[in-house]
Structure 1
Amino acid sequence: MNRNALTAALLVAVLGTVAVTGCKKKEPVAPAAPMPTTTEPAPMPAPTPAPATAATATVTGIDLGNTIGADMKVGTPATTFAPKDTIHVSVATSTSDPAASVPGKLGVRWTHLDSNQVVSEDTRDVTLTGTGNTEFHIAKPDGWPTGKYKVEVMQDGNVVQSREFEIK
């Protein structure tokens, strides 16, 4: 073969290869994977503190008597009084947390049951801490009518305890 024929044959082979390669269906190119980003994780929110349970106060008992001590407790509990006695009621209270101060209102209503008449009412703003006593009293220098009476103890406007007594 001569050199020109060989060159021509090679040229045809190369052009055929290029033509076949150029006509070949192109494969779709996969999209590039997103580059991972490095971000700091969001800070955790501060824990929400549990709501503090508010301390509460409770009337734990009442005593009636005709004398009262410095500790606001009656000297000798009684349910029968003389017409000219001063009648004391000692209201015992306690708070759910002994160190907490619990504001509120304590009150008493004295009623003559025989006539269904309120003879006295008294309400006080108080701040209670731990255990303690609050004193209320009634007196009538010219004497109470004989009969049956009742004292109702109220905490924040609600009757929480009561006691009946008699004047003879």
Structure 2
Amino acid sequence: MHRPQQLLFALTFTAMTAVSSSVWAAGFENIIVSTEKDADTTQDSFAPDTPKIFVSADLTEDVPAGSKVNIAWISVDSGGAAPPNYKIDEVNLDITSTINHVDSALTKPNSGWPVGTYKIEFSVDGKPMESVGFAVK
């Protein structure tokens, strides 16, 4: 007797999940973190003396013209050099119909990158959409 109710619940849940995933689609693809601007391959770790770290990403159709994209550089855990999840820097971009790629870079601090874990978070109109992590070893 409970089968129709279970089926209805499963269909409703599936529909809600489909709507939710389209709203929270990644929005970014081909994310590359590297020591070189316009690199083709991503790196997941860097030396403390790395002069500059670059990030680039292609926008998907989930980021329409008129959107505001934020790229935030965050120190997740730098062994006490900064508080946990400390926002080091950020860049804000207004997306137009001619923009389908975003870039950002961060220069080495004077005393070098603190050893630890970091992430770069991509947000669209204030909503976190994607993040990529890297380490300094």
Q: Work out whether the TM-score is over 0.5.
A: yes
| Structure 2 stretches lacking a partner, 5+ long | 1-26, 78-82
In structure 2, relative to structure 1, the CA distance for the partners of 1:102 and 1:80 (3 Å cut) is same
Q: Distance in 2 between matches of 1:154 and 1:77?
A: 20
Cα deviations across residues 23-58 of structure 1 (Å, max 9, x unaligned)?
xxxxxxxxxxxxxxxxxxxxxxxxxxxxxxxxxxx3
> Residue 102 of structure 1 aligns with which residue?
65
TM-score, normalised by the number of residues in structure 1: 0.54
| Structure 1 stretches lacking a partner, 5+ long | 1-57
> Residue 77 of structure 1 aligns with which residue?
42
TM-score, normalised by the number of residues in structure 2: 0.65
2:102 paired with 1:134: yes
Q: Distance in 2 between matches of 1:111 and 1:118?
A: 4
RMSD, aligned α-carbons = 2.3
**Offset of residue 133 of structure 1:** 1.7
Q: Distance in 2 between matches of 1:77 and 1:83?
A: 17
> Residue 40 of structure 1 aligns with which residue?
none
Equivalent residue runs for 1:1-150 within 5 Å? 58-69=27-38, 74-85=39-50, 86-95=52-61, 102-114=65-77, 115-116=83-84, 117-129=86-98, 132-142=100-110, 143-150=112-119
In structure 2, relative to structure 1, the CA distance for the partners of 1:128 and 1:60 (3 Å cut) is farther
In structure 2, relative to structure 1, the CA distance for the partners of 1:92 and 1:146 (3 Å cut) is same
Q: RCO greater where, 1 or 2, for CA within 8 Å and sep 6 or more?
A: 2
**Offset of residue 141 of structure 1:** 4.8
Q: Distance in 2 between matches of 1:128 and 1:146?
A: 39
Between Structure 1 and Structure 2, how many residues are aligned?
Answer: 103
Task: Tell me which stretches of 4 or more aligned residues in structure 1 moved more than 2 Å.
Answer: 58-61
**Offset of residue 123 of structure 1:** 0.9
Q: Counterpart amino acid of 1:123? A: N
Q: Counterpart amino acid of 1:105? A: K
Q: Counterpart amino acid of 1:146? A: V
Q: Distance in 1 between matches of 2:31 and 2:40?
A: 13
**Offset of residue 61 of structure 1:** 4.1
Q: Counterpart amino acid of 1:138? A: L
